[in-house]
Amino acid sequence: RAKEAGRGGFCFFAADMNAQALQRLTLENDLRRALENGELEVFYQAQVALADGRLTGAEALVRWRHPEKGLVSPAAFIPVAEETGLIVSLGEQVLRAACRQLATWQRQGLPRLTVAVNLSPRQFRQPDLVDRVAAILAETGADPDWLELEITESAAMQHAEETIGALRRLREMGVSLAIDDFGTGYSSLSYLKRFPIDKLKIDRSFVQGVPGNGDDAAIVQAIIAMARSLGLALLAEGVESEAQRDFLQAQGCAVAQGWLFGQAVPAAAFERDHLARHGA
Ligand code: C2E
Ligand code: MG
Ligand code: MG
Ligand code: MG
């Protein structure tokens, strides 16, 4: 009987595995179709100066308008896109759309703002990444001074030598560079110093805990001190409350992004909610 139960257990397990594999395969095929049919849309979230609430930039965040499921968040499909390599063409679609959008904003005569686009580790490892970015800038007429690329700490730390070369060339083109989700990896000060970057984005997981959680407060203070000593700009992610904002500002973090200032919204809503007042 034990044997039977074991087998039964195994069959159950296998069936479960199949269901999971099938679900993944469906998602992969769906995503392939989405990329071909232009179902992906770029939303924008405001980045603001804490001193006066002035808009400094926007982060481009991908959304999937699924024909049946409605709006799907990136957490549900970015990991599969990354595993399957679909992230490369997805990332390029997002970059192209964001550059097209920023070129439009430029032509409207708005004061400079940065548009930040996420680069996945896989995209970042492409040997011709810099040429691809240059081609998209040329094609869309976007000013590289308005473009910021976000890479995660772990993506930057892999293959450090090649990474430094690519970052340097991007920067020479006028593109600025931010380390996303900072604090969740393990960059040392000396390592970070070698990277030609402009900005650290303090991860939301630490911002969430301030001012109440002593450990989070200490980590945020340490990151702020680190950025200051390396001459890097700072942005705090995921600011939801006035208490968080006040703490960050008092500690010397000048710029933030989070629901307190607005969620990621379609370009038209971003224009209405944030750009209408920008520079006016
Ligand atoms: P991320 O780059 O760290 O982006 C910040 C995420 O935090 C966004 O989630 C944003 O909507 C969310 N967020 C912002 N403010 C708040 C807040 O006050 N409270 C809370 N709870 N959340 C806040 P989203 O849009 O779901 O994106 C999740 C992640 O997916 C992004 O994290 C990024 O890693 C990835 N992602 C999004 N778009 C792209 C893309 O075009 N390419 C790549 N490679 N990754 C992307
Ligand atoms: Mg980001
Ligand atoms: Mg982030
Ligand atoms: Mg994050």
What is the model's pLDDT at position 177? 97
In contact, 49 and 111? CB cutoff 8 Å: no
Amino acid identity for residue 70 in this structure: G
- For 74-103, b/e burial (b = at least 16 CB within 10 A) is beebbebbbebebbbebbbbbbbbbbbbbb
Rounded Cα distance, 217 and 222, in Å: 9
Q: Write the burial class of residue 220 (CB in 10 Å: 0-12 exposed, 13-18 middle, 19+ buried).
A: buried
Regarding the beta carbon of 73 and ligand 1, being less than 6 Å apart is answered yes
The pLDDT assigned to 14 comes to 66
Check pocket membership of 142 for ligand 1, CB cut-off 6 A: no
pLDDT at 20: 83
Residue type at position 154: S
Whose C-alpha lies nearest to ligand 1, atom 4?
A: 61
Q: What is d(CA 228, CA 47) in angstroms, rounded to the nearest whole number? A: 19
Closest CA to 256 of 42, 111, 59: 59
58: nearest Cα among 243, 223, 231, 262: 262
Q: Does ligand 1 have an atom closer than 6 angstroms to the CB of 29?
A: no
User: Is 10 a pocket residue for ligand 1 (Cβ < 6 Å)?
Assistant: no
| ipTM of this complex | 0.98
pLDDT at residue 12, rounded to an integer: 61
Sequence-distant (≥ 6) Cβ neighbours of residue 267 within 8 angstroms: 42, 43, 44, 101
pLDDT at 8: 52
Q: Is the pTM of this model over 0.90?
A: yes
Per-residue pLDDT of the chain (280 residues; tens, 9 = 90+): 444 444 555 556 666 668 888 888 889 999 999 999 999 999 999 999 999 999 999 999 999 999 999 999 999 999 999 999 999 999 999 999 999 999 999 999 999 999 999 999 999 889 999 999 999 999 999 999 999 999 998 888 887 788 889 999 999 999 999 999 999 887 777 778 888 999 999 999 999 999 999 999 999 999 999 999 999 999 999 999 999 999 999 999 999 999 999 999 999 999 999 998 886 5
Q: What is the pLDDT of residue 7?
A: 52
Tokens representing 180 are 């996303």
| Ligand 1 in reach of 144 Cβ (< 6 A) | no
Pocket test for ligand 1, best of 39, 61, 241 (most atoms within 8 A of CB): 61
